[in-house]
Amino acid sequence: MKIKTADGGWNPYFAGALVGVLAIVSVVATTKIMGKTNFLGASTTFVRAAGLAEQRLVPEHVEKNEYFKKEKVKVDWQFMLVLGIFLGAFISAVSDGSFKLEAVPPTWEKRFGKSAVKRAVWAFCGGVVAMIGARLADGCPSGHGLSGLMQLSLSGFAALACFFGVGALAAHFIYRGRAS
């Protein structure tokens, strides 16, 4: 089995296994350095980002909000991790020539056309719904999927089944239409 794929990327089994190693190292590092065990995750950071944005407009409201109080609006380990994902992806894409500016994803364009505005509106709405769901379930494919399944958490299996089950149903409906 080759490590490099035709487009200069890495075999997904290999890159994935390295993420497994990274997850273990990260668990050890956070336990040793921060004194508390952190598992990889991403969606709580969106709450903090919303809180930081709202603080500029309505600081008293953020201070009083029960959920912001619970999750604490601050730039913490996970917040920096999520920013790091952006940087790491940028470094990797530029170094192997796969960086490409794209206004509309190809699969979307095939079904719904070139309009970047249409894509923007739907992506925004999808984001709103998905994040309300992720916060209600207390995790996303990183926190529930990756970290949950690694720990054999019951909630991880249930959440991932819903993510993927409903996602597959919706995707078949959206991108295939009734004709195909």
Partner 1 sequence: MNEQILGLITGILFGFLLQKGRVLRFDKQVGAMLFKDMTILKFMLSAIIVGMLGVYFLSDIGFIELKHKAMNVGAVLLGGSLFGAGWAVMGFCPGTSLGAIGEGRWHALWALLGMIAGAGIFAEMYPFFKSTVYTWLDWGKISLPELMRVNHWPVIAGLSVIYLFLFFIFEKRKI
**Residue list 89-108, contact with partner 1 (CB under 8 A):** 89-93, 96, 98-108
In angstroms, what is the minimal distance from the CB of 65 to partner 1?
5
Half-sphere exposure of 136 (CA within 13 A, CB side): 8
Place of tokens 């207390």: 138
Least distance between partner 1 and beta carbon 22 (Å):
6
Give the whole-angstrom CA distance, residue 89 versus residue 82: 11
Q: Which of residues 21-60 bind partner 1 (CB under 8 A)?
A: 21-24, 26-31, 33-34, 37, 39-40, 42-43, 45-47, 49-51, 53-54
> Using the rule CB under 8 A, is 120 a contact of partner 1?
yes
| Options 59, 63, 113, 171; binder of partner 1; rule CB under 8 A | 171
For residue 60, the minimal CB distance to partner 1 (Å) is 14
DSSP 38-88: -----HHHHHHHHHHHHHHH-HHHHHH-HHHHHH--S--HHHHHHHHHHHH
Task: Check binding of 165 to partner 1 (CB under 8 A).
Answer: yes
Q: Name the 3-class secondary structure at 179.
A: coil
Size of the site for partner 1 (CB under 8 A): 132
